[in-house]
Amino acid sequence: MKTYIKVMITGILASAVIVFFIFYDFNKQEKEAAGDYEKEQAKNENVQAVDIAVQDYLLPLENSKKRLTPISHVMLHFTSNVAENPKDPYLMEDIYTIFEDYGVSAHYAIDREGVIYRLVAENRVAFHAGTGSLQDFPAYEDNLNDYSIGIELLAIGSKEEMNEFIDEATYDSLDPSLIGYTDAQYAAVERLLDMLHEQYPEIERNREYVVGHDEYAPDRKSDPGILFDWSRIGY
């Protein structure tokens, strides 16, 4: 009986030692993986800090959700407050309030002087694409938010593109300098895209992966529109 008990105790101790080392090894691997992730994040932050200036102007968390899927696309938009303030439609505070009130968002906004604002962190999904589809990516139908970075440029499109927001008389009264895109915006969006391509190799440098809202949802969206010159940013 004593021998049997001794064998049992020895077996229990041996099992405990095995479990300990399994747990220790798993915990070690987990810490190493976390460390690698933190290093990668730090590297990305350093790339951004060195190569591009971004001002944080973060929307409330309710205007986004946690990202659980890889980033493979970028979508460009235009936005303004021309319907409410046609004389001064590009106040960033107004744009922020519109996004906040309507529960929508984008990761970045670029003002007329080329200042880049971060509205949503890239590790969160912004609500910018809505329903739509891309011919070569059927799995993304009505779901491109989850796989993309959204960039808003503060701009006003053509008269036809803007007719859902303002009437013809209001459009004709606009200062011509408010219509279309500025040189500073083209330079800023090019820098921002260079950074995103470097950080997310899945975003290929072509027009299948960098798209306009009007391509994803042509029946309901017109941005960035015919006034946006894609060749100015190398696409």
Beta strands in the chain (DSSP E): 55-56, 64-66, 73-79, 108-110, 116-118, 124-126, 148-154, 210-212
Catalytic residues: 152
Integer angstrom CA distances of residue 160 from 42, 88, 182, 225: 45, 20, 20, 10
Place of tokens 């090894």: 25
| Strands 116-118 and 108-110, sheet pairing | antiparallel
The one-letter code for the residue type at 77 is H
110 phi/psi in degrees, rounded to 5: -120, 120
Cα(143)–Cα(165) distance, integer angstroms: 26
